[in-house]
Amino acid sequence: YPYMIKPATKMPVAKILFKSTTSSALKGAIQLGITHTVGSLSQKPERDVLLQDFEVVESIFFPCEGSNLTPAHHYGDFRFKTYAPIAFRYFREMFGIRPDDYMYSLCNESLIELSNSGASGSLFYVSSDDEYIIKTVQHKEAEFLQKLLPGYFMNLNQNKRTLLPKFYGLYCVQAGGKNIRIAVMNNLLPSAVRMHLKYDLKGSTYKRRASAKEREKTVPTYKDLDFMQDMPDGLLLEGDKFTAVCKTIQRDCLLLQSFKIMDYSLLVGIHNLDQACQEQASEEAVAGAMDQRRPQGQKSLYSTAIEAIQAETGNMGPLDTEDKTGGIPARNSKGERLLVYIGIIDILQSYRLVKKLEHSWKALVHDGDTVSVHRPGFYAERFQKFMCSTVFRKVSSKTSPCKKRRAVTHGPMRRAGGPPLSTQTSSTSNPLPLLQHQISSDTREDTEGDNGKKWKSNSSNFIYIALLIQLKCNTKCFTTVKNIIRINRENPSLPSSI
């Protein structure tokens, strides 16, 4: 085939070929196949999803010279299969994706190959508008996803706000006698936002540290032990966001456990807002370029995390940051402002016989509870505990602006028994000396009238003084204050009720 690497080529074959197919030929075949299948599907009338729709596989042949249904191309003959097209069309509609936007994002411009391949050797592509990730999956993973579709359908109808991957399509390219299966998913980490740190977290500790080769990358993907060393205090979230994150993780883990899924990870991308201030100009330029490539009306698909959190907290309003791409506001132990992007990935690993044997073998040499592979129930429990006690920590909500103003106003009140308030000034008059005289006189009268029994504290007096200053009262209010103080002396329980 014309896309086969010639022996004389000096380029590294391992990085060019995938199952005897060049990356460029694979990208072209994917785009041709998706264009045809989505276009033909849009001509079919919409209907409810039936149980048999999850088992449907459509296939079409793409010869080089073209046919009545397919265009001519230079990628070599290949066959393109689409799994459960009706079901995935329904999923895309639930996520608010229109067919023309889906085709435009994936097929209008060339796909971008990502350098960070998975541990299994999978290829990753991202759409030119940064919305979609295309990942090659193994035969067992594709088969498991097909079986998972009915349960996935049920979960989406019950809970659209989730940290689980959003699957938009499952396809297969047959070329050169090889099957290359691919899954189209949402992009969790937008390239328009620089990720200063990236972690793949499982909640296990056995061999959970980034390798030396991984650390040489521009943006390494660190692991659990690295996170515990880099951030011993975790990522600090406000109370409502912390609760929402933990509830979402708990609900998703329960679903994964019901399908006997394990060995999944929480992908965490951290954008440091304070650190990025120096790069603001370049970041805005990149963001502007990305906005130009995105069609108008296209929804940002990597906002899964913040959508889930806002849904849990009942707050669907704008965030307190300038973020437009779905990051969760957080802080580190230094107080630096962060945007955290999270999502559960690698959910296509079931606890099959091979995984059971792997866990048993590792448990003989190491502590069985620390290894990654484990039975689904234990894995889910350990995963939740690690995320909600080590990765994310709860902090009190920030003081609101009105509370800050009240704190400034009440600051001098803490000096009860010390020097009287003397810092409050006015451009017209300063009623404070007269007010102090009235209070002192009233206190002396109260003391004499009660046979030397002094009123219990002057702190209440200062409360009323501060109240007058806050309300900007003039000297006509002093008589009222004097009467209030008398009432307070005679009825000690009254101020608390007021």
Please report, for the domain that includes residue 344, its CATH number: 3.30.810.10
**Does residue 204 or residue 11 have the better pLDDT?**
204
371 and 420 part of one domain? no
In degrees and rounded to multiples of 5, residue 460 shows phi and psi of: -65, -35
Residue 459 clears pLDDT 90, i.e. is over it: no
Residue 301 clears pLDDT 60, i.e. is over it: no
235 and 269 part of one domain? yes
212 and 236 part of one domain? yes
Q: Residue 46's domain spans which residues?
A: 1-187
Distance separating alpha carbons of residues 350 and 264, to the nearest angstrom: 10
Which of 398, 429, 454 is a domain's end point? 398
Mean pLDDT calculated for residue range 51-69: 94
Distance separating alpha carbons of residues 344 and 247, to the nearest angstrom: 14
473 and 337 part of one domain? no
The pLDDT value recorded for residue 431 is: 42
Residue 437 clears pLDDT 60, i.e. is over it: no
Residue 62 clears pLDDT 80, i.e. is over it: yes
Answer whether 382's CB lies under 8 Å from 374's CB.
yes
Task: Please indicate, yes or no, if residue 293 is contained in any of the structural domains.
Answer: no
- The first and second tokens of residue 10, run together, are 């000096």
89 and 25 part of one domain? yes
Distance separating alpha carbons of residues 454 and 252, to the nearest angstrom: 64
228 and 367 part of one domain? yes
Distance separating alpha carbons of residues 57 and 52, to the nearest angstrom: 11
Residue 422 clears pLDDT 80, i.e. is over it: no
Distance separating alpha carbons of residues 200 and 227, to the nearest angstrom: 9
Provide the pLDDT confidence category of residue 121 given band limits of 50, 70 and 90.
Answer: confident
Task: Please indicate, yes or no, if residue 234 is contained in any of the structural domains.
Answer: yes
Task: Please indicate, yes or no, if residue 287 is contained in any of the structural domains.
Answer: no
178 and 236 part of one domain? no
In degrees and rounded to multiples of 5, residue 43 shows phi and psi of: -85, -15
- Whose tokens are 């951030």? That residue is 231
**Does residue 419 or residue 393 have the better pLDDT?**
393
pTM of the complete model: 0.67
Q: Which residues of 2-25 are buried (b: 16+ CB within 10 A; e: fewer)?
A: ebeeeeeeeeeeeeebbeebbbeb
Provide the pLDDT confidence category of residue 368 given band limits of 50, 70 and 90.
Answer: very low
- The first and second tokens of residue 302, run together, are 């990597």
Task: Please indicate, yes or no, if residue 255 is contained in any of the structural domains.
Answer: yes
Residue 312 clears pLDDT 80, i.e. is over it: no
Which of 161, 187, 213 is a domain's end point? 187
CA 482 to chain centre: 57
Q: H or E stretch including 198? A: strand 197-201
372 and 409 part of one domain? no
Task: Please indicate, yes or no, if residue 377 is contained in any of the structural domains.
Answer: yes
411 and 475 part of one domain? yes
- 3-state DSSP percent of the chain in helix, strand and coil, to 5: 45, 15, 40
The pLDDT value recorded for residue 395 is: 87
Answer whether 36's CB lies under 8 Å from 58's CB.
no
Lowest mean pLDDT among 117-131, 194-208, 330-344, 469-483: 469-483
In degrees and rounded to multiples of 5, residue 311 shows phi and psi of: -65, -40
Task: Please indicate, yes or no, if residue 21 is contained in any of the structural domains.
Answer: yes
Which residues, 6+ apart, have CB-to-CB distance to 25 below 8 Å?
Answer: 1, 3, 75, 76, 175
Task: Please indicate, yes or no, if residue 439 is contained in any of the structural domains.
Answer: yes
Which residues, 6+ apart, have CB-to-CB distance to 258 below 8 Å?
Answer: 151
- The first and second tokens of residue 364, run together, are 């003989």
Task: Please indicate, yes or no, if residue 252 is contained in any of the structural domains.
Answer: yes
26 and 82 part of one domain? yes
Assign residue 22 the CATH number of its domain. 3.30.800.10
**Does residue 118 or residue 375 have the better pLDDT?**
375
Mean pLDDT calculated for residue range 382-389: 95
Residue 107 clears pLDDT 80, i.e. is over it: yes
Number of structural domains the chain divides into: 3
Lowest mean pLDDT among 212-216, 430-434, 461-465: 430-434
Which of 138, 172, 187 is a domain's end point? 187
**Does residue 80 or residue 280 have the better pLDDT?**
80
Residue 257 clears pLDDT 60, i.e. is over it: yes
Residue 408 clears pLDDT 60, i.e. is over it: no
What share of the chain in percent tops pLDDT 90?
46
Distance separating alpha carbons of residues 391 and 310, to the nearest angstrom: 20
171 and 248 part of one domain? no
Provide the pLDDT confidence category of residue 119 given band limits of 50, 70 and 90.
Answer: low
423 and 323 part of one domain? no
Answer whether 35's CB lies under 8 Å from 103's CB.
yes
